[in-house]
């Protein structure tokens, strides 16, 4: 059972290693120079818009992701040692491994990302972001 837990953990780390903040940064860099209309078509209307003192606009997009992991039982093992006397009266020691189920309760993981696009003359001039949910697959 420990092997199954290890394999599941290794698989999730492998998947998590492919989705990174650097991947998001690279993906967002592709928006620089594109038209605001392209942004509206792909991302929809922004959560909010603000105008800077120099006339540029800041479009904010907020995204919250909720991932739920169902509860499950995992096997846990322990070794138990006991002493006993055999049929000849000699004291002996026996070690056995007991396996028993342990309940892992359901868990909820939340992540959020706020992405800012600065537009000048209807073109994306700058992109910035904050949050633990600002991740994307890394492209080779």
Domains in the chain: boundaries: 2-70+106-137
Tokens representing residue 8 in the block: 């599941």
pLDDT, one tens digit for every residue, the chain (140 residues)? 444 444 444 444 444 458 899 999 999 999 999 999 999 999 999 999 999 999 999 999 999 999 999 999 999 999 999 999 889 999 999 999 999 999 999 999 999 999 999 999 999 999 999 999 999 998 86
Beta strands in 44-87 (DSSP E): 48-51, 57-69, 72-85
The predicted pLDDT at position 17 comes to 55
Contacts of 91 (CB under 8 A, 6+ apart): 83, 84, 85
Q: What is the pTM for the complete model shown?
A: 0.65
């Amino acid at each position: 059972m420990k092997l199954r837990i290890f394999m599941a953990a290794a698989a999730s780390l492998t998947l998590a290693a492919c989705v990174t903040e650097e991947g998001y940064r690279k993906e967002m860099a592709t928006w620089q120079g594109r038209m605001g209309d392209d942004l509206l078509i792909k991302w929809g209307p922004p959560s909010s818009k603000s105008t800077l003192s120099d006339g540029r606009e800041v479009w904010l997009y907020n995204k919250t992701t909720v991932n739920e992991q169902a509860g499950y039982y995992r096997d846990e093992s322990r070794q138990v040692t006991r002493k006993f006397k055999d049929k000849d009266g000699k004291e002996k020691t026996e070690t056995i491994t007991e396996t028993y189920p342990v309940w892992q309760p359901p868990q909820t993981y939340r992540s959020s990302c706020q992405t800012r696009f600065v537009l000048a003359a209807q073109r994306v001039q700058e992109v910035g972001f904050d949050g633990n949910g600002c991740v994307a697959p890394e492209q080779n």
